[in-house]
Chains A and B, each alone.
Chain A
Amino acid sequence: MHGTNDLILRTATVLISFILFAFSIYLFLAGHNAPGGGFVGGLMTASAIVLMYMAYGERAVSKIIPVNYRFLIPTGLLIALLTGAGSFAFGEPFLNQTFGHFHIPLLGDKELATALLFDLGVYLTVVGITMTIILSIAGDRE
């Protein structure tokens, strides 16, 4: 993917991509009890990265985000699977989940659930797969 000279797109991307990133993280964290979750959060993140690729081209963006998206897929799968298998250690059935309330400085009393870790796996897998597919197709012509 080559960058474009469209000044409007480039300027808007700076703003929009940050809003997209922030919103994707919000969606990801909201997912446990409200609409959202790892899947849609991951898609949103991927769309933000794709927007940056469209505006600034492959060379610039791969310097900003030096991540091999192919490795994100197995990493995410592994996190999700280990979260499920973690219940073995406590003698609980596979995929069992639990939650607790913790006091975090600045944020106050927050509920943390192990389901969030599973969602993190989903999130990484979705980002990895979406980016791999889009970049493979985009790189096909060169």
Chain B
Amino acid sequence: MMSNLAVLPIIIPLVSGILLAFFHTKTPFVRHAAKLLSVISTGVAAYVFYYVLQNGTVTLETGGWEAPYGIVLVADLLAVTLVLTTNIIGLACIFYAPHSLTEQKEKFYFYTFFFLLITGVSGAFLTGDLFNLFVFFEVLLMASYALITLGGEKVQLRESIKYVLVNLFSSIVFVTTVAFLYSVLGTVNMAQMAERVQEVEQQGILTTIGILLFFVFATKAALFPLYYWLPKPYTVPNPVVSAMFAALLTKVGVYSIIRMFTLVFVHKMEVTHELFIWIAGFTLVFGAIGALSTNNIKLVIAYNIIPAVGFMVMGVGIYNQTALSGSVYYMISDMIIKAALFLLAGAVAHVVGTPDLRKMKGLIHQLPLLGWLLFISAFVLAGVPPFSGFIGKLMIMQGGFADGEIAIVIIGLLSSLLILYSIMKIFVRGFWGEKDESITIDKKTVTALTWPVAFLVFFTVLLGIGAEMFYPVVDDISNQLMNPEIYIDSVFKE
């Protein structure tokens, strides 16, 4: 039965995590097994992606309970694309991890929690049930609590308290909002919610609940004014963990916004989507300014998460097919490049011994490949053609112009310049200049740390240069997003 394909990207990482928990003390074995399992998981995700691309959405009614009574998993093109991206990032991180983590941390179930994080993220992308989305949020948050405190250094514990409290609070609001929605609509199945909201044309209270839900996801996605918690906690754990967080966690929030506000709450655009544009504008400005405010290279990159989220939400706010294509394209590209940048910053900080930019100079002599990868990454992030960031931003801007949202487009363009400057600052100050003789490098480790970064950068370059090839897929995704009936019909098939 092919519908079981939809659950495979959730089960395989889960089984991997469980199996590795049995052998957590045998580090060399676990390392190799984790690599192998990660390759398998990526392979399966790629197959599911291919299958959905060829045959359309796969829905699974778990336990044989018919929708809307049971929980459905809906592997539509958007979900499987993001699942595949998640797995590719996981693959790079798994190969980076052994050279970056201490053996002590690996023994404390690092790989188990790593796979559980992927399980939670994949589940959140695939589920077609709002309460189940909450459950998968909790799965990924539980794993992230363990990963962020792994090692138990003082600074980690201090920052993780902030992280845990913010996420706990937003989870409480989330489940409350689900209860509100259930009391009004009598369902938590997304497709049925969409139908019922449409029937009553999203009257007063529903719009209010929708905005409440938006603020829950905005906390996870780090949008203005709820981003204040994000930058510091993301810099304290190991680079691998930071990379996973930066690439996946905020994007799950963005995905949820895209899903709910293209499927369910689409009948009062002048309130909800107008609000998104305003919030996206502030997010862009404040995030970019934050990135300029610090000399800690990890913090620079952490702050750069925020304007990127602003871009994606801007596309949702504009809400036409071009802008949504742009949002999805930019999201895929940004997931990969954020992971690459965090791994890169981690490698640089590992070599120099500090993430402080003022203590670096002339690194290009010791780390030529990493230097040029950073250079390319900066271009991808800022959206310089022909890289993938450009294509995503271009489509969002085009969509914005078509709808007459000129102001936000100009803010977007200006903040892109600030983003470019903030990353170039790392390149100019850290990599240019005289060779610093005091820095000694361990060639073997540096090479091992560089390859996963190169692997990810290769994908973003491919996304940019091969845009012709990927564009039809993204266009198909945004077509599905603009026509909620496709999603609804795939759940309630006759």
Residues of chain A whose beta carbon lies under 8 Å from any beta carbon of chain B: 71, 73-74, 77-78, 81, 84-85, 87-88, 91-97
Partner of A93, one of B14, B62, B112: B62
Closest-CB distance, B110 to chain A (whole angstroms): 15
Asked whether, in the complex, the Cβ of B63 is within 8 Å of the Cβ of A97, the reply is: yes
Question: Given A78-B18, A94-B11, 11 more contacts at CB 8 Å?
Answer: A74-B21, A74-B112, A77-B14, A85-B11, A91-B1, A92-B1, A92-B64, A93-B64, A94-B63, A95-B63, A96-B64
A–B Cβ pairs within 8 angstroms, 13 of them: A71-B22, A74-B18, A77-B14, A77-B18, A78-B19, A81-B11, A81-B18, A93-B4, A93-B62, A94-B4, A94-B11, A94-B62, A97-B63
Closest-CB distance, A84 to chain B (whole angstroms): 8
* Alpha-carbon distance A112/B193, docked complex (angstroms): 37
* Alpha-carbon distance A88/B3, docked complex (angstroms): 10
* Alpha-carbon distance A93/B3, docked complex (angstroms): 7
* Alpha-carbon distance A85/B4, docked complex (angstroms): 9
Interface on chain A toward B: helix, strand, loop, or mixed SS?
helix
A93-B18 contact in complex given A81-B11, A85-B11, C-beta closer than 8 Å: no
Which bracket fits the contact residues of B? 10 to 19
How many A-B pairs fall under 8 Å by CB? 42
Asked whether, in the complex, the Cβ of B18 is within 8 Å of the Cβ of A94, the reply is: no
Closest-CB distance, B107 to chain A (whole angstroms): 12
Closest-CB distance, B109 to chain A (whole angstroms): 9
Asked whether, in the complex, the Cβ of B15 is within 8 Å of the Cβ of A93, the reply is: no
Residues of chain B whose beta carbon lies under 8 Å from any beta carbon of chain A: 1, 3-4, 7, 11, 14-15, 18-19, 21-22, 60-64, 112
Asked whether, in the complex, the Cβ of A93 is within 8 Å of the Cβ of B22, the reply is: no
Asked whether, in the complex, the Cβ of A93 is within 8 Å of the Cβ of B21, the reply is: no
Closest 4 CB pairs of A and B: A74-B21, A95-B63, A94-B7, A91-B1
Partner of A95, one of B1, B62, B112: B62
Asked whether, in the complex, the Cβ of A93 is within 8 Å of the Cβ of B60, the reply is: yes
- Measured CB to CB, the nearest residue on chain B to A79 is B18
Residues in B with CB closer than 8 Å to A96 are 63-64
- Measured CB to CB, the nearest residue on chain B to A78 is B18
Residues in A with CB closer than 8 Å to B14 are 77, 81
| Residue of B7, B14, B18 with highest tally of chain A CB at under 10 A | B18
| Residue of A78, A91, A93 with highest tally of chain B CB at under 10 A | A93
- Measured CB to CB, the nearest residue on chain B to A73 is B21
* Alpha-carbon distance A93/B7, docked complex (angstroms): 9
Residues in B with CB closer than 8 Å to A74 are 18-19, 21-22, 112
* Alpha-carbon distance A92/B60, docked complex (angstroms): 10
Residues in A with CB closer than 8 Å to B62 are 93-95
* Alpha-carbon distance A78/B15, docked complex (angstroms): 7
A94-B21 contact in complex given A78-B15, A81-B11, A88-B4, C-beta closer than 8 Å: no
Residues in B with CB closer than 8 Å to A87 are 4
